[in-house]
A and B are shown apart, each in its own frame.
Chain A
Amino acid sequence: MGVNIRFFIGKGGVGKSTTSALTALNNAHLGHDTILVSMDPAHNQSDIFQRPFTEKPKQVVRNLAVKEIDLDYWMATYLKDTQAQLKKAYSYQSAFNIHSYYKILKYSPGLEEYALLLAFKNTLQTEKKRDNIVFDMPPTALTMRFFSLPFISLIWLKALLKLRGQIYDKKGIISKIKFGKREIERDKVKDRLKSLIDDHIQLQKYFTADGTDINLELNNDHLSFQEAIRIRQKLADIGIDIGRILINKVKNGELLEEITNQFNGYPICRFPLSSGELYGLQSLKKYTLEIPLFAIPNPVGEIR
């Protein structure tokens, strides 16, 4: 995997969109082909850069493109594909009235994070030639569901595959006794389960690969600090380690020592509180110039 993947995660309001925009801008300035992807349904990047973005990447400056994930589009596309397969497979679909059921399926719990995963997979495929992909993630709840979905899915998929294996073996026994030879057709469900397992293992690998960098962001206040501790723990529970701590809107004194001690061993970047609002390309550029020791993570994971 040649491309560097950067996630910006943390409590809502800590400044993930701004720091991911600054990082992407800095990476582009250093000559690395970068795309900034807004995964947050609230989509602040269009406000920050003061221009509309869509699913189609839009070039903002040299080496930097931005796109916003449209979750509704990914949910609709997924449901449409499944429905088409269902129509093909089921001869009596109308008997179950599944067609009308699809209208409410988009409100099913879990579909939002799956749509996010589909968009993530698609971005990796379409943008693999770039040097960096920077993901501006949604607030904690959806982000945690996004990261844990492959993990939870794999638990289910492996259990279902085991049961399916038992069913397949029993079919083999019946065929052997009845017809004297083990002659059973390929189990499509078993094949699909195997392919889903491979897909989810691959997704898990993306989250833990060397080129992946998870930036956990917080402010030096108690609420975001405590939430950051919980995020780190929950990610560790599913085998994902964070790569860096970003302290944004740093004000002097408060909690800084405690944060440093708590996250001892992790690289820590500090983004000082800006004197003005970080709004528009010029103010972002100005902010990077204002601070001589500006610690933006660079594309090879070091601190400038």
Chain B
Amino acid sequence: MVSFLDRIQRKIVTVFKTTDAVMRNRAVETVEYELEELDNIFGILVLGTFIGIPAPPIHITMDLLPLMERELNLMLEKVSTAQDPLGDLFSVLGID
């Protein structure tokens, strides 16, 4: 009997934890999207010289470049969705 109640309790806790994790993930989805955009803007600002837009003095780009693998990668990923920015945004907001 105790073992049955224990199992029920464990299941409830698991369901609660999963629901909590899902809700928390959903809650930060938009902030994560915003963060990704900010990261992309930062990458574009620093590495602008590589894509032909106004950029900081070259030594700033050169000094930060070795630390910006993630931002460079993100910029490349963004290229694929650059033609459809609204689609990208709608998918984050869950609009079909």
- Contact surface of A with B, Cβ cutoff 8 Å: 78-79, 82, 85-86, 88-91, 96, 105, 108-111, 114, 149, 152-153, 156-157, 160, 163-164, 166-167, 170-171, 173-174, 177-178, 188-189, 192-193, 196
- Contact surface of B with A, Cβ cutoff 8 Å: 24-25, 27-28, 31-32, 34-35, 38-39, 41-42, 45-46, 49, 56-60, 62-69, 72
- Taking the closest CB of chain A, its distance from the CB of B92, in whole angstroms, is 14
Candidates A153, A160, A166, A174; contact of B59 at CB < 8 Å? A153
Question: Which residues of chain A come closer than 8 Å to B28, judged between CB atoms?
Answer: 173-174, 177-178
Question: Which residues of chain A come closer than 8 Å to B42, judged between CB atoms?
Answer: 160, 163-164, 167
The chain B residue with its CB closest to the CB of A88 is: B66
Task: Decide: B72 and A160 in contact? CB cutoff 8 A.
Answer: no
The chain B residue with its CB closest to the CB of A188 is: B67
Task: Decide: B63 and A174 in contact? CB cutoff 8 A.
Answer: no
- Interface SS majority for chain A: helix
A177 and B24 alpha carbons, distance in the complex (Å) = 6
Task: Decide: A160 and B46 in contact? CB cutoff 8 A.
Answer: yes
**Across the A-B interface, how many residue pairs have beta carbons closer than 8 Å?**
85
Q: A89-B69, A110-B58, A167-B35 are in contact. List 6 more A-B contacts (CB 8 A).
A: A108-B58, A153-B60, A156-B57, A156-B60, A171-B35, A192-B63
Question: Which residues of chain B come closer than 8 Å to A110, judged between CB atoms?
Answer: 57-59
A6 and B50 alpha carbons, distance in the complex (Å) = 38
A91 and B25 alpha carbons, distance in the complex (Å) = 30
Task: Decide: B66 and A90 in contact? CB cutoff 8 A.
Answer: yes
Candidates A88, A174, A189; contact of B64 at CB < 8 Å? A189
Task: Decide: B66 and A89 in contact? CB cutoff 8 A.
Answer: yes
Task: Decide: B67 and A157 in contact? CB cutoff 8 A.
Answer: no
Question: Which residues of chain A come closer than 8 Å to B56, judged between CB atoms?
Answer: 153, 156-157, 160
The chain B residue with its CB closest to the CB of A157 is: B60
The chain A residue with its CB closest to the CB of B49 is: A108
- Contacts A160-B46, A164-B42, A188-B67; A196 near B25 (Cβ below 8 A): no
A96 and B31 alpha carbons, distance in the complex (Å) = 30
